[in-house]
């Protein structure tokens, strides 16, 4: 069962060489990452577009690491619970995110559908991962955890031509609750570059992780 069409995959691929940022404002730049944002009048939050590079990591490895839930639990310190879920012929992901204790805020959790495609375009191989929140009847909301039910991300990865990865991500979620704008801005400015840095390290360690699984 799929909830994404060709148009959405094409949209993600196009962003790698032709950033669609006419309506977006520049937000921040850190190392090899530039972030733009678009205000959402209904929620008072922002949709983000992230453009960046991960050096010395090939895009196919990045895609494998992004898709490997078990491996992510070993390197993503904010992933409290992460697993596949199924309801009939509908398959998805359950993800609970740890909020640091010093924030005195409830954890958030997500239930979403995810689709991965490898697309050949203009002589390039592009790895695309699209996700969007989707209710699953067998994954009800939990006491003490806030369910994020308005979430999407589009990601596209391709070679930078120098042994690294050129990456794009479009991201939006509504975490609900009375979260200060200052905190949301801080998370966007530091969290995204920090996650990409973590992922880059995880990609470099992925072959060793796979080897360790084969020997156990």
Tell me what pLDDT residue 186 has. Answer: 78
| Cα angle: 114, vertex 115, 119; to 5 degrees | 150
pTM score of the predicted model: 0.92
Query: What is the rounded average pLDDT of the residues 67-76?
Result: 95
Q: How far is CA 78 from CA 102, 191, 194, in A?
A: 14, 11, 12
CATH number, residue 108: 3.30.530.20
**Residue with the larger pLDDT of the pair 181 and 88:** 88
Instruction: Judge whether residue 133 has pLDDT over 90.
Output: yes
> Are the CB atoms for 61 and 79 separated by under 8 Å?
no
Instruction: Judge whether residue 1 has pLDDT over 60.
Output: no
Instruction: Judge whether residue 100 has pLDDT over 60.
Output: yes
Q: Chain-wide mean pLDDT for the chain?
A: 91
Please report which confidence band the pLDDT of residue 99 belongs to, taking 50, 70 and 90 as the band edges. Answer: confident
Tell me what pLDDT residue 91 has. Answer: 94
Please report which confidence band the pLDDT of residue 143 belongs to, taking 50, 70 and 90 as the band edges. Answer: very high
Task: Count Cβ neighbours within 10 Å for each residue of 55-81 and write b for 16 or more, e otherwise.
Answer: eebbbebbbbbbeebebbeebbebebe
Residue 80 lies in a domain: yes
Instruction: Judge whether residue 139 has pLDDT over 60.
Output: yes
Please report which confidence band the pLDDT of residue 67 belongs to, taking 50, 70 and 90 as the band edges. Answer: very high
Q: Which domain holds residue 113?
A: 6-214
Portion of the chain with pLDDT greater than 90, in percent:
73
Residue 1 lies in a domain: no
- Tally of domains within the chain: 1
């Amino acid at each position: 069962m799929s909830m994404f069409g060709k148009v959405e995959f094409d949209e993600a691929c196009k962003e790698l060489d032709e950033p669609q940022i006419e309506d977006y404002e520049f937000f921040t730049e850190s190392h090899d990452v530039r972030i733009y944002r678009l205000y959402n009048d209904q929620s008072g939050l922002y949709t983000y577009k992230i453009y960046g590079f991960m050096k010395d990591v090939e895009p196919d490895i990045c895609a494998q690491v992004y898709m490997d839930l078990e491996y992510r639990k070993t390197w993503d310190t904010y992933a409290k619970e992460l697993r596949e879920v199924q309801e009939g012929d509908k398959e998805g992901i359950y993800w609970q995110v740890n909020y640091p204790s010093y924030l005195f805020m409830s954890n958030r959790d997500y239930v979403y559908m995810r689709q991965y495609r490898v697309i050949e375009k203009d002589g390039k191989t592009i790895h695309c991962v699209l996700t969007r929140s989707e209710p699953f009847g067998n994954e009800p909301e939990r006491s003490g955890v806030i369910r994020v039910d308005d979430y999407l991300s589009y990601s596209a990865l391709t070679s930078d031509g120098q042994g690294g990865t050129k990456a794009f991500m479009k991201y939006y979620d509504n975490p609900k609750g009375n979260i200060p704008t200052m905190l949301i801005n801080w998370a966007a400015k530091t969290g995204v570059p920090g996650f990409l840095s973590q992922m880059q390290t995880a990609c470099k360690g992925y072959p060793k992780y796979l080897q360790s699984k084969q020997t156990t």
